[in-house]
C-alpha cells in the first residue's frame, strides 16, 4: 500500500506535494500532506493538504470552490515526495492566478 512506501520520517510526518495540471503538465502549487490528508485525498478524490501554519487539514477549494480533482498520484524515487496530477477547477493561487508559480525570476 502507498502509505507503507512513503517515508514520513524526513519531515516529521509530512511530505511535500507538487500539484500539476493533468492535461498541460503546468506546475500549479506546492503543499504538504500528512497521512490523514493523503487518506482523505484518496477517499474523496479531491486534494487535501496539511497546513503547517494552522496545523490542520484543508481541502483545496473548500472555501473558494477551486477544487483539485485527482487524476493520478506518483511517488518519487526517494519515497518522500508526491506528484499529484489534477483537474483544476478555477484558479489555484489565493492571488487569483492560475498557478502559484507566476513570479518569474530568471
- Is residue 33 within 8 A of residue 50, CB to CB? The reply is yes
77 is an annotated ligand-binding site residue: yes
CB 59 within 8 A of CB 42: no
**Is 21 one of the annotated binding-site residues?**
no
- Sign of the alpha-carbon dihedral angle for 105, 54, 96, 26: positive
How far apart CA 36 and CA 59 sit, in angstroms, is: 12
Task: Please enumerate in sequence order all residues whose Cβ is within 8 A of that of 71, keeping only pairs 6 or more positions apart, or say none.
Answer: 22, 85, 86, 87
78 annotated ligand binder:
yes
User: CB neighbours of 53 closer than 8 A, spacing ≥ 6?
Assistant: none
Q: Enumerate the known binding-site residues.
A: 76-78, 80, 93, 100
Q: Enumerate the known binding-site residues for Mg(2+).
A: 76, 78, 80
Q: Enumerate the known binding-site residues for Zn(2+).
A: 77, 93, 100
Amino acid at each position: 500500500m502507498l502509505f507503507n512506501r512513503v517515508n514520513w520520517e524526513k519531515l516529521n510526518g509530512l511530505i511535500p506535494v507538487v500539484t500539476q495540471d493533468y492535461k498541460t503538465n503546468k506546475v500549479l502549487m506546492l503543499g504538504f500532506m500528512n497521512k490523514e490528508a493523503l487518506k482523505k485525498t484518496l477517499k474523496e478524490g479531491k486534494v487535501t493538504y496539511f497546513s503547517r501554519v494552522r496545523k490542520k487539514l484543508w481541502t483545496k477549494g473548500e472555501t473558494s470552490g477551486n477544487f483539485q480533482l485527482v487524476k493520478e498520484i506518483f511517488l518519487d524515487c526517494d519515497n518522500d515526495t508526491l506528484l499529484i496530477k489534477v483537474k483544476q477547477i478555477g484558479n489555484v493561487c489565493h492571488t487569483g492566478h492560475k498557478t502559484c508559480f507566476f513570479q518569474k525570476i530568471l
